[in-house]
Structure 1
Amino acid sequence: MKMVIAIVQDDDALDLVDVLTEKNFRVTKLATTGGFLKSGNTTLLMGVEANRTQEVIKVIESTCKKRNEVVASPVPFSASTEMYMQYPVEVQVGGATVFVIDVDQFVRI
């Protein structure tokens, strides 16, 4: 048994949960916030049989695509003040960060 933890962008989360549940994977969805862009993420927790781990990773990979997005980035307006001005910057978002962890014991009560 493996624990798969996938951190995905909110825009991809609902589609991913739908595909995973269609393929009979059990998923727990947690709302999280990313540190870099301070934007909403979703963390998915899945207990997966070891022989289905690669299947889960392929589903995540095919559903969560990287893309470019323009976001507002705060930059100091003046070095002597604490005023900030926002300007648009293009960043790559999407994709997923996936962790696969060995599970010593699994109990469903």
Structure 2
Amino acid sequence: MKLVYAIIRNDNEDDVTSALMQEGFTVTRLSTTGGFLRKGSTTLMIALQDEQLEQCIDIIKQQSGSRQEITVNMPYVSGSSLMNYTTMPMNVEIGGATIMVVPLERFEKY
């Protein structure tokens, strides 16, 4: 058995979760926060049999495709002073997923 952790953007969470559940996967959702852009994200936990792994990863990839977005880094306050730098629009890649797979010794559902 395997445990899949998939970290996805909140924008993609409904599509990914619905597609996984439609294929019979049991999904647990956790609200999390990303680091670089400090945007909301969702971490999905999916317990599955080894032979289901590739199907699960394919569904996640299909439903959480990456795309480009322009964002502006805003200055932030550090202590009592405002960090002084020019805000510039940046083209960043968003979406996609971070997927981690770990062995699972035991899984019980009551």
TM-score (norm 1): 0.88
Unaligned 5+ runs, structure 1: none
**What is aligned with 1:56?**
56
CA contact (8 A) 2:70 2:89 kept: yes
Alignment of 1:1-109 (within 5 A): 1-75=1-75, 82-84=82-84, 86-109=87-110
Percent pairwise identity: 33
The residue type equivalent to 2:64 in the other structure is: C
CA contact (8 A) 1:64 1:94 kept: yes
- Looking at structure 2, the residues matched to 75 and 59 of structure 1 have their Cα atoms a distance apart, in angstroms, of 38
CA contact (8 A) 1:9 1:42 kept: yes
CA contact (8 A) 2:29 2:43 kept: yes
**Aligned residues: CA RMSD:** 1.6
CA contact (8 A) 1:32 1:42 kept: yes
Count of matched residue pairs: 105
- Looking at structure 2, the residues matched to 10 and 107 of structure 1 have their Cα atoms a distance apart, in angstroms, of 28
Unaligned 5+ runs, structure 2: none
TM superposition shift of 1:90: 1.3
3-state SS of 1:74 partner:
coil
- Looking at structure 2, the residues matched to 97 and 107 of structure 1 have their Cα atoms a distance apart, in angstroms, of 25
TM superposition shift of 1:75: 4.6
TM-score (norm 2): 0.87
